[in-house]
Amino acid sequence: MENKIVRVGGGVIVRRNGKVLVGKRLADLGKGSWGFPGGHLEHGESFEECAVRETKEEAGISIKNLKLGSVTNAYFKESDKHYVTVYVACDYGKGKVRIMEPDKTAEWSWFSWENLPKPYFLTMRGLFEQNFNPFK
């Protein structure tokens, strides 16, 4: 059996005024879908450290009140990639939301949890299957 790598991702659900921050993806994996800030967990990094770093790198903002949220398991058939994503729910801290990686994200917008834009990035679907709600 071929040894394939399962990657660990960090997803960040940033809350502000009853809404969450989502971005339209330009990266090859999930291009055109909407997802939360996030990325790969780095060696020796905690989930919270990953969340702080990725949110700053991708959206230019700081976050606070971090709490582990949920975990999803997603297999991307078209690229043969497998991700276990650990989600952190948090509150907006400070800074202006902006596109920090224009090759990866087309736009950032705030949406209510009940009205998130579709299509969802594959790693997010597991959150809805679990009936996860970052406001509870």
Domain ranges of the chain: 6-129
**Cα-atom radius of gyration of the chain, to the nearest Å?**
14
Supply the pLDDT for residue 1: 55
Contact 10, 57 (CB under 8 A): no
Contact 93, 64 (CB under 8 A): yes
d(CA 136, CA 78): 34
Contact 71, 86 (CB under 8 A): yes
Could you tell me whether strands 6-16 and 81-94 are parallel, antiparallel, or unpaired per DSSP bridges?
parallel
- From first to last of the 136 residues of the chain, give the pLDDT tens digit: 567 899 999 999 999 999 999 999 999 999 999 999 999 999 999 999 999 999 999 999 999 999 999 999 999 999 999 999 999 999 999 999 999 999 999 999 999 999 999 999 999 999 999 999 999 9
**Residue 31 tokens, joined:** 């291009």
Contacts of 135 (CB under 8 A, 6+ apart): 15, 18, 113
- Domain spanning 6-129: CATH superfamily: Nucleoside Triphosphate Pyrophosphohydrolase (3.90.79.10)
